[in-house]
Structure 1
């Protein structure tokens, strides 16, 4: 017994000694490390086997680059991080830096949930980032976040299937009319069953709103403060989507969707769908699981020639929650996180579109072969990618629009009636 007790005491003593030797790792936000560094608590949802080592390497490099700040990484699951952020802001004990949604910065600024950053930045800092991304972080002329990453949508197409269908594999469809024409040629039927579907507009990382934006000259549902939901082009886009379902048949659409999965089970990789819309990072699945797939990438086809290859984009920002204890040190880390070196590392390792222009261009230069081809296409596509920040006058307006779009796609109402009701519902919710 005495020997056992002595062993337990020795273990506790050893643990205490180790804790004392790892003051930086155990440091809490709002305090300082044993060697006097200010601790900055950085919240992210990047906990996967792929992304966590990448962000922690960036943090480690920053910590080693200077002797005043120690960044502590706190991982919170996707479903929890923003709820806990709002709760911590309300309690007066938030993180110092958090990764947050790019299209809702104005909402948090208006609700005083995020620190204003203008005093830390100047025009030369802003010019590091794509202008359409920087626009999302400003509210009433002041910056409340810094863009971190973004995305865009491309048309991936199977070159082998193109050849089989008598199509030129170097000439993807340029317009909606060509997209329909190509899709019909790419369909492969066995009796009444489809072995391969040429294309379906709601498969992949794309929704009805993307096609409505594409048809309507890049206009979102709210354009320069004015509602643009029930427009002729958006009605036509919904009718166009319904036409695809009518041609293929509800059973075909449902049967194919029931088999969808990731990796080898992805229908484009499995060569069950010949054309597929997705974000640039979809390429990593093609690279890892579709080695024998000969494919090309192109912008989304235009509604008609000259209308523009408009795509929707999203992404994330780095921001300082309201009431953070160390805003100056937090901003120093944000500048590193969104600077060329860290952004290039994130882009190369994650194959992700970054917000820093210099980093994106440097990534293109470093990549080779198909890696370079797809990444360069995504960067070029940012020129015709629209961001749709949520206006403070219409918080959560999507919750009024999406159910009506679903009703139209389910055949419960006509596209025109659905969008008319959606626009009326959004108008009623306008925040005075």
Structure 2
């Protein structure tokens, strides 16, 4: 989100990184939902509505829709404004967005709500959460609601992130990709081109020119790496020709993944050109590193925090491109009555219109998930004023879903970044550490394999 410096800001400054630290400590463990699976049957009707206070002017409306989200502050206000526009656009449905805390709190609350059989009509799930609920068969198949015009209106690489076996379960809304940020002022002083590095090898070649510079009397590094999230690492692994997994086949300790981790380790400890960041983004904003990868959603916050001209480029390649998508989307629960599902879908359709998508993207920094949004006059004006906004959109042609293990195995990301801290922080051999990471991921994979095989199968 805009206004925050970390890649996946949620609310009140809580980022995906701080959330994942909770997960690594065991605080994010999501209780099994087997008791809830299929509650209410395919036709719905088993789940009651959550509490909602309806303003007097809307009390005669036949349907009420509640959307639970983890957006407050500026994004929360913007979401409320969009919901208010929906309420004023028709006379049958009253919708209300209810803030439920960060993704960790919201996930815990919706788990409890499912067990109590009293749930919101729409849930805003993060990309690494909704698949867990899908495996427990609590999410509605939305394919019959979404006509061809709706499906084709989205950028395919964003829309398809919510599709399993040609069925839609999660509608992209607040979506992002990582991009490369660079310090234009520092690059100019170092005699470098006004662009980000095209490859990781090029960044290493530029390293000496950058490390010869100083900021606030301190030596500069070429880049900083995150030891508190797996998102940027997964992107780099793809760039080196590896994967975290192929389907549920764990490959984080093979080929390009090991090469990537070891290349970055050498960049830190042998080349002395990179650092492992304790507070990811702070060094960049203070002018102490020349580049780093972060979410497109961090652009506005970086503008506010940086003390220099900020440049944005596509992610570097090495063997190939690597751009995993991130962010949040909207799901409907299987167990609610049919009329509530239909009303909830009307809200999702409204939020997925070009006007809503443009408003949300320009106001938050998330990607415009609907293609036509960028053709609106306000978006064209914003792109002309700030071309940096268009970099992540252009990257979508190379973007893809998270690797299956990262998406479906609970606490996969904390397991991966705990390994990265050993490699990037303690200079431990990449192969040995990633072998241990792979064993932990395989243990998590075994817990979900039967459900995955049943519901996903060869989709991955």
TM-score, normalisation: structure 1: 0.80
Query: Is 1:58 equivalent to 2:82 in the alignment?
Result: yes
Going from structure 1 to structure 2, the CA distance change for 1:145 and 1:59 (only over 3 Å counts) comes to same
1:77 aligns with 2:92: no
> How does 1:288-303 map onto structure 2 within 5 Å?
288-290=304-306, 293-303=308-318
Give how far 1:154 is off: 1.6
2-side partners of 1:65 and 1:154: how far apart?
A: 36
Aligned residues: 388
Q: What value does the CA root-mean-square deviation take over the aligned residues?
A: 3.0
Instruction: Look up the match of 2:349.
Output: 335
> 2:370 aligned to 353, 356, 380, which one?
356
Matched-pair contact (CA < 8 Å) for 2:178–2:296: yes
- Conservation of the 8 A alpha-carbon contact between 1:280 and 1:374: no
d(CA) in 2 for partners of 1:271 and 1:114? Answer: 45
Aligned to 2:15: none
TM-superposed deviation, 1:346: 0.6
Deviation by residue 1:327-347 (Cα, 9 ceiling, x = unmatched): 110111111111212111111
**Contact 1:103-1:387 at 8 Å conserved across structures:** no
Aligned to 2:126: 101
Report whether the alignment pairs 1:269 with 2:285.
Answer: yes
Question: Aligned residue for 1:285?
Answer: 301
Partner of 2:259: 236
Q: Do 1:129 and 1:355's aligned partners in 2 also have CA atoms closer than 8 Å?
A: yes
- Aligned partners of 2:250 and 2:191: how far apart in 1? 44
Give how far 1:248 is off.
6.5
Match in the other structure for 1:314: 326
Is 2:171 the counterpart of 1:125? no
Matched, 1:378 2:392: yes
**Does the CA-based 8 Å contact 1:89-1:323 persist in structure 2?**
no
Query: Which whole-Å CA distance do the structure 2 matches of 1:275 and 1:400 have between them?
Result: 26
Distance in 1, Cα, partners of 2:206 & 2:423: 26
Deviations 1:14-56 (A, max 9, x none): xxxxxxxxxxx8329xxx95323311111112121x1122111
Distance 1:351 1:397 in 2: 27
Structure 2 counterpart of 1:421: 436
Is the Cα–Cα contact under 8 Å of residues 347 and 360 in structure 1 kept in the other structure? no
Per-residue deviation, 1:189: 6.2
Distance 1:278 1:130, change over 3 A: same
1:226 equivalent among 242, 249, 254: 249
CA distance in 2, matches of 1:224, 1:359: 33
The answer to which structure, 1 or 2, has the higher relative contact order (CA under 8 A, 6+ apart) is 2
Q: Contact 1:311 / 1:385 at 8 angstroms: preserved in 2?
A: yes
Larger Rg: 1
Q: After TM superposition, give the deviation of residue 104 of structure 1 in Å.
A: 3.9
What is the Cα deviation at residue 94 of structure 1? 0.1
State the secondary structure of the residue aligned to 1:108.
Answer: helix
- Show the counterpart of 2:16: none
Deviations 1:122-163 (A, max 9, x none): 222211112222222223332112111211122222222222
Matches of 1:184 and 1:412 in 2, distance apart?
21
Structure 1 pair 203/280, CA: closer, same or farther in 2 (3 Å)? farther
Unaligned 5+ segments in structure 2 are 1-51, 451-460
TM-score, scaled relative to structure 2:
0.76
Cα distance change on mapping 1:361 and 1:203 into 2, 3 Å: farther
Contact 1:152–1:312, Cα closer than 8 Å, also in 2: yes
1:266-311, Cα deviation, whole Å (9 max, x unpaired)? 3333322222222223321343344x723322112211xxx33322
The answer (yes or no) to whether the contact 2:178–2:323 under 8 Å persists in 1 is yes
**Greater shift in the superposed pair: 127-136 or 79-88:** 127-136
2:182 aligned with 1:148: no
Distance 1:59 1:390 in 2: 33
Q: Distance in 2 between matches of 1:344 and 1:393?
A: 30
Q: CA deviation at 1:227?
A: 2.9
The aligned counterpart of 1:345 is 359
Q: Residue 224 of structure 2: SS of its match in structure 1?
A: coil
Give me the whole-angstrom Cα distance separating, in 1, the residues matched to 2:134 and 2:163.
9
Q: Are residues 233 and 389 of structure 1, via their aligned partners in 2, closer, same or farther at CA, if it must alter by over 3 Å?
A: closer
* Residue aligned with 1:150, SS: strand
1:390 and 1:396 in contact (8 A); partners too: no
For residues 288 and 394 of structure 1, the distance between their equivalents in structure 2, rounded to whole angstroms, comes to 36
Match of 2:54 in 1: 27
